[in-house]
Amino acid sequence: MSDPVKVRVHGPLASLFPGFRVRLAALGYSPGTAAQQLQMLADLSGWMHARGLAIHDLSPEAVEEFFRHRRQSHRNLSTARSLDRFIEFLSDSDIERAAAAPSVLPDWEQTLVRFEQYLSRERALAPTTVENYLNQVRPFLRWRASRTNSVLGNLSVNEVTGFLLVRGGTESAGSVRVAVTALRALLKWLYLSGTINEALAEGIGPVSYSAFGALPKALPPAQVSDLISHTADSRLSSCRDRAIVVLLSRLGLRSREAAGLRLDDLNWRAGTVLVRGKGGVTEPMPLPADAGAAIAGYLEHERPAMPDRHLFLQAKAPHAPLGRSGISAVVNRLGQRAGMASPVGAHRLRHSAATGVLAAGGTLTEAAQLLRHSSPASTVIYARVDLSALRTLARPWPRVERGAPGSVIVPGRVR
């Protein structure tokens, strides 16, 4: 059945069908997909009616029991996640359901929850920073819990350094350095909260690392063009993917900045786009003609007509905003289609934009303005890829004139 209106239902959920049908249409679901969702709900309503359950009895345990029953006869829409849109609808309609039975988190997960609250409430860190810290601390707490059941009060410096040595065996020095920063913050909090009796953070030594140890991983212009050409292979989102790649490569946006763009940030008359950068700094940037044309093509031919004001939306319903990981996934997928050996993320295009400025004869100051760096030191790394400028600094290599006795060393060209 592909007509949502023709789905018939009886039982406790029948009164909710008209409103939920409207919700599915507003989320951009096709009639066929909406009909499948409604038929699943019709099955759920009939199952609830047979067991004498009302709407408020639809607890998480009841949902799991229904899907165990459903998997015996259905292969599609057979997990609790299939009900996510309907559960959101119930919540938005202020319809209460029976709460799930309280679950007891392991000690290390409870510690992680409290640490997250500390970072968010007391330190007032940005959500993305909190997420980055948790992503580094979570593996350590899980690793320690798997090795010992002792409480964190018995934590030692040797355990922390042991974990870092394990990570250092498979990860770069830069990655380990990020982990050290997060673990020091955890240890300081554990000490301040009285969980541990010693200031262990002082015992974690620095990681030998330099941002100047390697060249920025930029893509040459030919490969950037190759990425753009492969956006045509995207059946559902060719215009969107093209707009993303052109924006990233021309304006050097971070993935988070591209994901945060809103329709109201585009000033078509002035030819600018408002970019929300690090530290809450918002700056207008000139919108190149090719980037503007790519965005206009996406808005005209492909972007769903949704009330959400984010510029880039998911291609499939529900058309939620595309997050920063989704932005990077688009670039990575195009890199695979183009046959690039190593994974290509959104930040590679940021590096490509900076090196492109220098290759065209621009200065480091101009590259810093494009990347919106607050410190010139952040842009200095790109000086090492400006080969034409570096050649003017290289001194001639001395060479020996062979032949007569008393040969002398004379300057020569580098070969």
DSSP state of 313: B
- CATH assignment at residue 139: 1.10.150.130
Confidence class of residue 359 from pLDDT cuts 50, 70 and 90? Answer: confident
Say whether both 162 and 128 belong to one domain.
Answer: yes
Average pLDDT over residues 287-308: 94
- CATH code at position 321: 1.10.443.10
Q: Residue 19 and residue 15: Cα distance in Å, rounded?
A: 8
Q: 321 and 248 in one domain? A: yes
Give the pLDDT of residue 215. Answer: 61
Q: What are phi and psi of 410, to 5 degrees?
A: -125, 155
Side chain identity, residue 159: E
Q: pTM for the whole thing?
A: 0.74
| Structural domains of the chain, count | 3
253-to-238, 319, 348, 373, 388 alpha-carbon distances in Å: 20, 23, 10, 12, 26
* pLDDT beyond 60 at 410: no
Mean pLDDT of 362-380: 85
Q: How far is residue 173's CA from residue 325's CA, in Å, rounded to a whole number?
A: 23
Residue 346 has pLDDT above 60, yes or no: yes
Q: Give the angle subtended at the CA of 291 by the CAs of 271 and 269, to the nearest 5°.
A: 15
For the chain, give the number of residues: 415
Assess if residue 344 is contained within a domain. Answer: yes
Mean pLDDT score, 252-256: 93
Angle between helices 221-229 and 346-359 (to 10 degrees): 130
- Based on the fold, state whether residues 259 and 355 are members of the same structural domain: yes
Whether residues 312 and 261 fall in one domain? yes
Strand pairing class (266-267; 272-276): antiparallel
Q: Could you tell me if 359 and 245 lie in one domain?
A: yes
pLDDT of 414 strictly over 70: no
pLDDT at 399: 66
Report whether 352 contacts 224 (CB < 8 A). Answer: yes
Domain that holds residue 167: 107-203
Cα dihedral across residues 59, 64, 70, 72: positive or negative = negative
Average pLDDT rounded to a whole number, residues 61-80 = 90
CA distance 248 to 250: 6
Q: What is the DSSP string of 10-43?
A: -STTGGGHHHHHHHHHHTT--HHHHHHHHHHHHH
pLDDT by residue (tens digit) across 381-406?
Answer: 776 666 566 566 667 777 655 655 55
Among all residues, which ones are annotated catalytic?
A: 254, 278, 347, 350, 373, 382
CA distance linking residue 107 with residue 358, whole number of Å: 52
38-57 pLDDT per residue, tens? 999 999 999 999 999 999 88
Alpha helices (H) along 120-237: 127-147, 157-168, 173-192, 221-229
- What pLDDT, in 10s, does the model give residues 233-248? 888 899 999 999 999 9
Statement to judge: residues 379 and 264 lie in one domain? yes
